[in-house]
Amino acid sequence: MTTNGTQAATDRSAGNAAARVDWVDYAKGICIVMVVMMHSVLGVEKAAEQTGFMHYVVMFAKPFRMPDFFLISGLFLSVVIDRDWRTYLDRKVMHFAYFYVLWVTIQFGFKAPSLAAEAGWAAVGLQYLEAFIEPFGTLWFIYLLPIFFVVTKLTRNIHPLAIWLVAAALEGAHVVTGWTVIDEFCARFVYFFTGYVLAAYVFALSDRARARPAFALLGLGLWALVNGSLVALDVSEWPAVSLALGLAGACAIIVTGTLLARAHWLGFLRFCGEHSIVIYLAFFLPMAVTRTLLLRFDVIHDIGLVSLIVTAIGVAGALLIWRLALAARANFLFERPDAFWIAPKKAAPALQAAE
C-alpha cells in the first residue's frame, strides 16, 4: 500500500515547479479559502452578535474543511520520509517552526496593546510564552503539522493498518482535554496518515474523475446532498459519521479540484493553492481590519455580505502583503532564510502540500 503511494507521489513530484499537479493546487486553494472563510464568518458573527447566510456555508464545510487540508499535506510524504533525520527535520520541522515563531510574534505585536489593556503587560508576556505550548490563534495548523511528520516517521516500521485503526479510533473518541495539540492530533491525524498511505488511491480517484467528468459531477451532487443533510440533522459530529464525512468530503474536494483543473476554470483558486502558506500566515491582519471597519461604520447591513467581503479581502490582502514584502525585500516573512536551515539545501520535491 505504501509502496504504491510512494511510486504515485514520486511520479508526480519529479522535475521542477512546472511539474506541479494542477488539481492538488486547486484542492489546496479551495481549502485555504474555506479556512479564511471560517475565521472571517465566525469572527464577524461574534462581533455583530448575529448570523448571516455565510454561516450555513461554513457549517456545510465544517466536516471536511480541515480533513482535506491534512490529507493533502500527507499526500507526498512517502517521497521524503526515508531521508536522514537531519534533512527530514529541516524540511518538515524547522520549516514550520520558523514561520510559527515569526508569525506568532507578529500577531502578538498587533494584539498586545488590547491584551495588555485587559490584563497587563506581565500577562501578555506569559501568554506569548504559552503560545509555544498552546498554539496561538489561527496558527495551530502549522504547529501541528511537524508533529504529524515526526510521528509518522517514527512509526513507519509499524504496519500502516495498525496505525490507521488507532488514528481512526482517536478521531471517533472526540477527545477534549482543553489542550489544542492533544485534541487536534486525535481529531486530525487519521486524515494526514490516510493521505500518506493511500496516496496511490487518491491519485487514482483524481484520474477517474478526469476521465469521467459527468460521473464525477453526479457523485459530487450525491455527496453534497448527504453531507448537507447530516449537517442539518446535527449528526455530522457523531462517532464514525464524522470520520466518514471527513474522508468523503476530502474526496469531494479532490474531485472538484480535478474537474476545475480539467476545465481550466477559476484559476485564482489554483494560485491560492500554490501560495496557501502565504495566505494562511497573513490573512489575519486584512481580515481583522476589514471586519472592524465594516462593523464600525455599518455601511452594509447584511451580515452575510459583510462576512463574504471580509473573506475576500482576507485572501486578497494576504497576497498583497506577500507581494509588498517581496518588493520591500522582506522575503524573510514568507521564505526561510539560510541561517535557519539545519541541513544543506538541495532540490526539494516540486510538490509539497501546505508549504
Q: Is 261 exposed, middle or buried (0-12, 13-18, 19+ CB in 10 A)?
A: buried
346 falls within a domain: no
353 falls within a domain: no
What is the rounded radius of gyration, in angstroms, for the C-alpha atoms of the chain?
20
Judged against a pLDDT cut of 80, whether residue 193 lies above it is answered with: yes
Q: What is the DSSP letter of 91?
A: I
14 falls within a domain: yes
263 falls within a domain: yes
Q: What is the pLDDT of residue 325?
A: 97
pLDDT digits (tens, 9 = 90+) for 60-101: 999 999 999 999 999 999 999 999 999 999 999 999 999 999
Domain that holds residue 291: 2-340
328: cell is 520591500
Of the pLDDT bands very low, low, confident and very high (cuts 50, 70, 90), residue 16 is very low
Judged against a pLDDT cut of 80, whether residue 347 lies above it is answered with: no
- Within the chain, residue ranges assigned H as helices are 2-13, 22-48, 54-61, 65-73, 85-89, 95-119, 121-130, 140-154, 160-173, 180-197, 199-211, 213-232, 241-263, 267-274, 276-282, 284-297, 303-327
Q: How far is CA 347 from the centre of its chain?
A: 24
State what percent of residues in the chain have pLDDT above 90: 84
Euclidean distance between CA atoms 321 and 107, whole angstroms: 14
91 falls within a domain: yes
326 falls within a domain: yes
Side-chain-facing half-sphere of 93: CA atoms under 13 Å: 16
355 falls within a domain: no
pLDDT digits (tens, 9 = 90+) for 261-313: 999 999 999 999 999 999 999 999 999 999 999 999 999 999 999 999 999 99
- Residues near 345 by beta carbon (within 8 Å), at least 6 away in sequence: 338
What is the total count of domains within the chain?
1
For residue 331, count other CB atoms closer than 10 A to its CB: 12
Q: What is the pLDDT of residue 121?
A: 86
Judged against a pLDDT cut of 90, whether residue 206 lies above it is answered with: yes
Q: What is the pLDDT of residue 47?
A: 96
Q: What is the pLDDT of residue 122?
A: 86
350 falls within a domain: no
Q: What is the pLDDT of residue 14?
A: 37
